[in-house]
Amino acid sequence: MSIKIFLDGQLVDKEDAKVSVFDHGFLYGDGIFEGIRYYNGKIFREKQHIDRLWDSAKTVNIEIPMTKQEVVKAINDTVKANGFTDAYIRLIVSRGEGNLGIDPRSCKRPSVIVIAQALSLYPAEFYEKGIKIVTASTIRNPSDSLSPRVKSLNYLNNIMAKIEAHVAGCEEALMLNHKGDVCECTGDNIFIIRNGKLLTPPIDACILEGVTRNVVIEICKELGLECAEAAFTRHDVYTADECFLTGSAAELIPVVAVDGRAIGDGKPGKITNQILAAFADFVRRDNSRIE
Ligand code: PXG
């Protein structure tokens, strides 16, 4: 049986899920997206993802041709049509089909696409042993360019940084912002821990405000751990006791080396593992729904 894709109001077979070569999402990366987790038959952090999609759409001036309720139904229908209870969902809104030329006015109707995939988990080794990352020379786009808070279909900047990581034999790259402060990784937010206190870059450090990041901040409150959102530099990362990354795909991944410097004792840290365990519990309790 072919997997079903939601494409502009209909569930179609993967083979028939085609978009035009004149779609501005394809021609110019002119569109937005969300990467969402489905756990135990439910959208994880439904409200946060749907609101972020609407916020991205507002900034790039795309009018999503569906209501939030309709988009949530499209996600649930797609997951059910494929018989999943746990899945990774890619929700895409492109500016739609238009003419050659960047003029968005030629695009008459944005396209809405939902792809549900069986979870393709990272190797267990990443979580048990942690990963090594390296600082990229490519910086995160500054907020006076396209806001990094928009989850746009144009990820080339981050892809350039990811290639730098691969060239250096690492899985992920640490991106700095235009001020030289630590920003985030190419598809994950970053946390460091020193003397039992967590620290993550603030929104105005040009990060994407990750849904998983915000869950970790909530978990810290529940566990009574101090967690600050404040600017820091690579020095703070090198000298941290622990470090981990967060993202919808990765959940929480320990980082054990940055630019060849071991973090702490070079093994996933105790507090990181404590938050990882609390995250698994949080996922089961999540009840975030749109109004
Ligand atoms: N920063 C950036 C730049 C991201 O793209 C995150 C942080 C984490 O946000 P969430 O809301 O997921 O906690 C992201 C999102 C992938 C992939 O295939 C991951 C993202 C986006 C696109 C692809 O790993 N992460």
Rounded Cα distance between 260 and 174, Å, is 13
Instruction: State which of 121, 176, 188, 288 you would mutate to test the pocket of ligand 1, scoring each by most atoms of that ligand within 8 A of its C-beta.
Output: 188
Atom of ligand 1 nearest to the CA of 211: 11
The pTM assigned to this predicted structure is 0.97
Are residues 88 and 55 in contact, defined by beta-carbon separation less than 8 angstroms?
Answer: no
The Å distance, Cα 263 to ligand 1 centre, comes to 23
Q: Whose CA is nearest to atom 18 of ligand 1?
A: 249
Tokens of 36: 């969402």
pLDDT in tens, 122-145: 899 999 999 999 999 999 999 999
Whether 285 shows a pLDDT value over 80: the answer reads yes
Name the percent of the chain lying above pLDDT 90: 96
Q: Whose CA is nearest to atom 19 of ligand 1?
A: 187
Instruction: State which of 248, 283, 286, 288 you would mutate to test the pocket of ligand 1, scoring each by most atoms of that ligand within 8 A of its C-beta.
Output: 248
Rounded Cα distance between 109 and 105, Å, is 10
Tokens of 291: 């109004």
pLDDT at 6: 98
DSSP 141-167: PPTTSS-TTS-BS--HHHHHHHHHHHH
Whether 1 shows a pLDDT value over 80: the answer reads no
Are residues 290 and 47 in contact, defined by beta-carbon separation less than 8 angstroms?
Answer: yes
Q: Whose CA is nearest to atom 5 of ligand 1?
A: 187
**Residue 22 is inside which H or E element, if any?**
none
The Å distance, Cα 94 to ligand 1 centre, comes to 18
Q: Whose CA is nearest to atom 4 of ligand 1?
A: 187
Whether 121 shows a pLDDT value over 80: the answer reads no
Residue identified by tokens 């756990």 is 39
Helix axes 68-81, 46-60, angle to 10 degrees: 120
The Å distance, Cα 69 to ligand 1 centre, comes to 23
Position 287 confidence tier, pLDDT thresholds 50, 70, 90: confident
223-250: burial string, b at 16+ Cβ within 10 Å, e else: eebebeeebbebebbbebbbbbbbbbbb
DSSP 72-110: HHHHHHHHHHTT-SSEEEEEEEE--B--SSS-GGG--S-
pLDDT in tens, 164-198: 999 999 999 999 999 999 999 999 999 999 999 99
Q: What is the 8-class DSSP label of residue 152? A: B
Ligand 1 shell residues, CB under 6 Å: 35, 158, 184, 187-189, 208, 210-213, 246-249
Q: Report all structural domains of the chain as residue ranges with CATH numbers, in order of start.
A: 4-117 (3.30.470.10), 124-286 (3.20.10.10)
Whether 269 shows a pLDDT value over 90: the answer reads yes
Position 291 confidence tier, pLDDT thresholds 50, 70, 90: confident
Atom of ligand 1 nearest to the CA of 186: 3
Rounded Cα distance between 207 and 143, Å, is 9
Atom of ligand 1 nearest to the CA of 184: 1
pLDDT in tens, 209-265: 999 999 999 999 999 999 999 999 999 999 999 999 999 999 999 999 999 999 999
Which are the catalytic amino acids? 151
Report the pLDDT averaged over residues 91-100.
Answer: 98
Atom of ligand 1 nearest to the CA of 52: 11
Q: Which amino acid is at 5?
A: I
The Å distance, Cα 99 to ligand 1 centre, comes to 30
The Å distance, Cα 1 to ligand 1 centre, comes to 30
Rounded Cα distance between 229 and 254, Å, is 19
pLDDT at 119: 84
